[in-house]
Chains A and B, each alone.
Chain A
Amino acid sequence: MISEIRKEIISNIEKEIIISQLSKNKREDGRGLFDFRDINIIPSPVEKAEGSAFVSLGKTKVLVGVKVSPASPFPDTPNEGIFVVNTEFSPVASPLFELGPPSEYAIEVARVVDRIIRSSEMIKLDELAIIPGELVWMINIDVYALDDNGNLIDASLIGALAALYVGYLPRVEIIDEEKKKIQIVKEEKYPIPLRDMPVSFTFAKIGDILLLDPTRIEENIMDARLTLAINNKGEICSVQKGEGGGFKLEDILLAKDIALKKANDIRKIINDQLVKKPRGEEAWNEIRGLAHGSNKES
């Protein structure tokens, strides 16, 4: 197997302090155990992408771009569109990331995000056929981590949701159906057909303590990780357990209750920002602005 270093070495004394503080419900950034960090979404900064979003979850930052292109459908789903989630965790985001093919961790995150979008049926794939059986839209969702300060899974999902939400499909003129000849009219844009917005909640288990939305330092000392995704009907639509340690049954039930309770609030925070925030060139003012404001909170 590929061995990779995912965690920084942390001194026992630091670890003990963090754990003893956690047992008093105190976290390094002052949050409660089950508080999410601030979510800041900047929609559509990248004009060259059909959809894009810059997301910061506390100090964790990702940039997600959506590119659409006509492609041949899979033989078993000839009338359905295709989407692919890909993560690029380059060394820009962390000294632990390396150049080269995606790490096991990056692939895991991409597959979890893919699965959440797939099981929630967020994208109406059946509305993505161009010439049924012959040509369909392929949606590439590329997640670029820019700054890893913990919980890239939830940040990546929020980025993917946001980029899809503000994304568009260009109008297509079918010139010759037989020969699969089409013309793309970029100027005419239609929203990507979506029906649902899933949200995810990643928990960490450190000793006996369960907490939500771990920071980088908490990830470094966590024993196990659990991600639960909730669709807008209030159903659980994906689960992923990660890392070497385990969870007790009551941890999982508690995590489920918290995720269900918080799902609507998080969805509202995401929705509000997608509707209200400035887009395009103006979005970069905010991205740049994060530069000097980024030290103030976690």
Chain B
Amino acid sequence: MVVVMKNNLILLDEKGRRSDGRRWNELRPVNMAVGILERADGSAIVETGKTKVLAAVYGPKEMYPKHLAMPDRAILRVAYRMASFSVEERKKPHPSRREIELSKVIKEALEPAVILEEFPRTVIDVYVLVLQADGGTRVASINAASLALADAGIPMKGLVTAIAVGRLGNQVIVDLNDLEDKYGDADMPIAYIPSTGEITLFQMDGTMPPDMFNKCLEVAIETLNKMHEFQKEALKSKYLTSKKKTNS
């Protein structure tokens, strides 16, 4: 195994351990819960290690301004924001260009799954708030937003599941942390609807040799299926807890 070092940081050691001790295909601890907010129509919290993301969904509701409404379907709007204290250096609260781009790609990752035709002339609003960022906030946001949409009872073709894969030297890695995101050779976030097989978010920065590109996609789909199980568990557990409460 080749040691991968950047800026005196060991990203991958000779035993194949990553900076936080994980193996190449190991996820950080995943926690998901739905229905955690009272006021929102649907809500979810998704944690992958130290990355913590909250999503709230409102709608379908009347669209204002009215001229933006579509006669044949609902509009999906997504706002991705980071809490000022979610990162090392305080982030000023007004939205950055990065937050605006991420809002857009997250919306486009969710849109194919939501059956918007059911609610013409309305809007569905998704608000994502990153409470703590440690790499992989956009994929955590997609996981949280799709759970919150499901929690709000909005009809979907399936849950949207997301994960980041990447490259350290010639090693594929999954679920990149902040260091790997910043100093790794490539970072490739992917969102996928397991029930239809569609890939709905696909980005990459860094460089990737063609043979590793295929391997990355293969590993990503495998990991996405794992994440999909976590999401289903989180949704189920909401109803199991409320059932227990009714029985007791």
Q: Identify the A interface with B (CB < 8 A).
A: 45-49, 52, 59, 61, 63, 65-67, 69, 86, 88, 90-95, 99, 101, 140, 142, 144, 146-149, 216, 281, 284, 287-288, 290-292, 294-296
CA–CA, A52 to B132, complex, Å? 11
User: Using Cβ atoms and an 8 Å threshold, which residues of chain B touch A61?
Assistant: 37
| Most chain B CB neighbours (cut-off 10 Å) among A45, A140, A288, A296 | A288
**Is B88 in the interface zone, CB < 8 Å from A?**
yes
Find the B residue at minimum CB distance from A142. Answer: B84
Collect the chain B residues with CB atoms within 8 Å of residue A52's CB: 85
Q: Which residues of B contact A284 (CB under 8 A)?
A: 31, 47, 52
Residues of chain A contacted by B50 (CB below 8 angstroms): 47-48, 281
| Known interface pairs A142-B84, A290-B36; A47-B132 also in contact (CB < 8 Å) | yes
Can you list 29 A-B pairs with a CB-CB distance of less than 8 A?
A45-B52, A47-B132, A48-B87, A48-B133, A48-B134, A49-B86, A63-B131, A67-B85, A86-B84, A88-B83, A88-B93, A91-B79, A91-B125, A92-B37, A92-B40, A92-B129, A95-B58, A95-B61, A99-B79, A142-B93, A146-B54, A146-B129, A149-B38, A281-B50, A288-B31, A291-B33, A292-B33, A292-B237, A292-B242
Q: State the CA gap A144–B31 with chains docked (Å).
A: 22
A69 CA / B93 CA spacing, docked (Å): 16
Q: Check B45–A48 contact: CB distance below 8 A.
A: no
Interface set, chain B 62-87, CB cutoff 8 A to A: 79, 81, 83-87
**With an 8 A cutoff between CB atoms, is B39 at the interface?**
yes
Report the bound CA distance from A52 to B90 in whole Å.
13
A69-B90, A88-B93, A90-B129 are known contacts. Are A292 and B85 too (CB-CB below 8 A)? Answer: no
One of B34, B35, B127 near A90 (C-beta < 8 A): B127
Contact in complex: A147, B37 (CB < 8 Å): yes
- How many CB-defined contacts (below 8 Å) exist between A and B? 119
6 nearest interchain CB pairs? A65-B85, A49-B85, A291-B36, A67-B90, A292-B241, A291-B33
15 A-B pairs besides A67-B90, A142-B93, A288-B47 with CB distance below 8 A are A46-B85, A47-B50, A61-B37, A67-B85, A95-B39, A140-B85, A146-B129, A147-B37, A147-B39, A148-B39, A281-B50, A291-B35, A292-B33, A292-B237, A296-B245
Is B56 positioned at the interface, with any CB of A under 8 Å from its CB? yes
Contact with A along B90-108 (1 / 0, CB 8 A): 1001100000000000000
**Contact, CB under 8 Å: B36 / A65:** no
Mask of B118-140 contacts with A, CB within 8 angstroms, 1/0: 00000001010101111000000
| Complex Cα–Cα for A265 and B241 (A) | 34
Residues of A within 8 A of B88 (CB): 48
B85 touches A92 (CB 8 A): no
Q: In the complex, what distance in Å separates the CA atom of A287 from the CA atom of B79? A: 23
Bound CA–CA A49/B89 (angstroms): 9
Q: Which residue of A lies closest to B45 (CB)?
A: A288
Q: Which of B52, B61, B127 touches A92 (beta carbons < 8 Å)?
A: B127
Instruction: For B238, list chain A residues within 8 Å (CB).
Output: 291-292
Min Cβ gap B234→A in Å is 10
Quick one: which of B34, B90, B131, B242 contacts A140, CB cutoff 8 A?
B90
Residue on B with the closest CB to A99? B79
B56 touches A142 (CB 8 A): no
Chain A residues whose C-beta falls within 8 Å of the C-beta of B242 in the assembled complex: 292, 295
The residues of A that contact B39 with a CB separation of less than 8 Å are 93-95, 147-149, 216
Q: Given contacts A86-B93, A91-B56, A291-B34, are A48 and B85 in contact (CB under 8 A)?
A: yes
| Distance of A137 from chain B, by nearest CB (Å) | 13
A178 to chain B, nearest CB (A): 25
- A residues near B58, Cβ cutoff 8 Å: 91, 95
When distances are taken between beta carbons in the complex, the residues of chain B under 8 Å from A92 are: 37, 40, 54, 56, 127, 129
State whether B56 touches A291 (Cβ < 8 A): no
Bound-state CA distance A179–B34 (Å) is 52
Residues of B within 8 A of A290 (CB): 36
Task: Give the docked Cα–Cα distance between A216 and B39 (Å).
Answer: 10
The answer for the CA separation of A66 and B38 in the assembled complex, in Å, is 25
Please measure, in the bound complex, the distance between the C-alpha atom of A94 and the C-alpha atom of B58, giving whole angstroms.
9
> A48-B133, A92-B56, A99-B79 known; A287 and B87 CB under 8 Å?
no
Q: A147 touching B38 by the CB < 8 A rule?
A: yes
**A residues in contact with B83, CB < 8 Å:** 46, 63, 65, 88, 142, 144
B49 to chain A: closest residue by CB: A281
Contact partners of B125 in chain A: CB under 8 A: 91
